[in-house]
Amino acid sequence: MSDATTNLPEAQTDRTLTTRRVIAFGLAIALGLITSALGILLILKAGLDATVPISFVEIPLLPLAALPLTFFFLIWVDYFMKTNILPD
């Protein structure tokens, strides 16, 4: 094993990788927000302006719930789109 980098020929480089990664992030964020909003509305039967009291701070529930779901969807979108955001 060596630390030398290997240069791929021009034909083997993936020119669509950056575009696919941007699409993967956008799709994961959209799926996370939509799933969180539907969960808040249908399961909790609360409005989208619901807050969670933590100590003396009121934190909005939607971004708090959407963040982990966004990461969950990013893992699966990355797998299916083969964007290699996460190492194999």
Quick: pLDDT tens for 13-25: 889 999 999 999 9
Report yes or no on 30 lying in a domain.
yes
Question: Which pLDDT belongs to residue 11?
Answer: 41
Is residue 75 domain-resident?
Answer: yes
Q: Is the whole model's pTM more than 0.85, yes or no?
A: no
Domain count, the chain: 1
- The first and second tokens of residue 18, run together, are 């950056």
pLDDT at 10 over 50: no
The residue whose two tokens read 């993967």 is: 24
Residue 25 structural domain: 16-81
Secondary structure of 1-43 in HEC code, one letter for each residue: CCCCCCCCCHHHCCCCHHHHHHHHHHHHHHHHHHHHHHHHHHH
Instruction: For residue range 33-61, list pLDDT tens digits in order.
Output: 999 999 999 999 999 999 999 999 999 99
What the block records as the tokens of 26 is: 């956008």
- Phi-psi category of residue 60: left, alpha or beta, with phi > 0 → left and psi -120 to 50 → alpha: beta
What integer best gives the mean pLDDT of the chain?
A: 89
